[in-house]
Structure formats: structure tokens, C-alpha cells
Amino acid sequence: MKPKSLIFYPSAIIVFLAGLFFAYAAAAASVVEVSGKDLPALLGQPVAAIRLYASTDGGTAKPIPFQIDERDAKGQWLMDGLAKAVAILDPQDVLLFHLDDAGVALQGSALPAAAARMELSVSGKFAYAVAEENPGPKSAKSYVSYQAGQDRVSTAFYDIGFSMRQALVQDVLILRNGKAQADVLDRFKVRFN
């Protein structure tokens, strides 16, 4: 006969992982991914000069958070340390932003002077990708941060950290659900006999 606690723990882990999956899926559903090949006016522009703008009132363009993930010619992701000496937007690169940050349509005159620009329309919302001659500041808002010294990623939904002593061993997982934020991994104890 199995003790009830041995049956409960696997069930609790499954429920926990399912909840984590659905929270992640809901957040990922609002991320817009645009391939570089779908941004022809911006191809060849320096990545550092590209900004993304949107408006909530139709008259003022404000920078919104975005990221450009670069790939090599074979489609492999380029990590920050391996980025090209002069990073330019290529057809295989990817621009990402949150749909919630997009806004209403703007007149071109509301946007900064630019070498190139493109209107992005998704689900009735608009964002404007602009390659600026003199790039303005990026949005101060950020959805993800990485603390290299702790090997830790933080978002509005979770913190996840990895052991500094053992590669690929996850040792911190804090879910942000509006309640107490405890390290979930501190609760699990696994013993091998």
C-alpha cells in the first residue's frame, strides 16, 4: 500500500506545472513576432538605430518596449556575446513586442525623423518600427531582466535562477501570482536511494 503523501506530491507537481504552462501561454499569446523579411524598409539598417513607437491618443508617438533577436545565415540564434560587429537587421532576424503596447494609428508627422519606417498592424492595433538617423531613447519599460551575477531571469510572472556551482541546475523558481512569493523549489525535496 502506497502512503497518501507519495500520491499527493506527483499530483501537486503536475497541477503546478500545468498552471505554470497556462500562465506562460497566456503571456506568450500577446507577444507579436515579426520576421526581418517582413520589414523590407528596415532591412540593412543598424539594429541600434531601430525604435518601436505607438500611440494611445492618436497624436503622440511614444517608444514602446521591443527586442530584436538576431540569427546567423543558418537561422541559429546569436547570443549577445556573439553578436555581429556591426549588427544590421537581416531577413532572418526577429522583432518582438507585446500587442498590449501597440496603440491607435498615427500620422507619419507624429513620428521622429527616420531613414526608414514601417507601420505594423496587428488585431486592429498599430506600432511603428523606425530606423532613426539620431536614435532617441528606448522605452524605460521592460518585461524581462537578466542579472548575470546571479544567473537569474526576472519577469512580471516569475523569477528563475540557476546554480552558480552546477551548470543547468535550476535552484530558484518564484511565481508572481499576487500572493506570497516564495521559492517553489525550496518546497520540493527529492531523495534517491
Same domain? 118 vs 154:
no
pLDDT of 8 higher than 50: no
Cα–Cα separations (whole angstroms), residue 121 to 40, 79, 127, 158: 15, 29, 7, 30
The per-residue pLDDT of the chain, averaged, comes to 79
Q: How confident is the model at residue 5 (pLDDT cuts 50, 70, 90)?
A: very low
Residue 23 maps to a domain:
no
Same domain? 84 vs 42:
yes
Same domain? 128 vs 178:
no
Using a cut of 0.75, tell me whether the model's pTM lies above it: no
Same domain? 125 vs 90:
yes
Mean pLDDT along residues 71-88: 74
For residues 134 and 52, give the distance between their C-alpha atoms in angstroms, rounded to a whole number.
14
Domain span holding position 177: 143-193
Same domain? 63 vs 93:
yes
Q: Enumerate residues 6+ apart whose C-beta is below 8 A from 102.
A: 32, 54, 64, 120, 122, 125, 126, 127
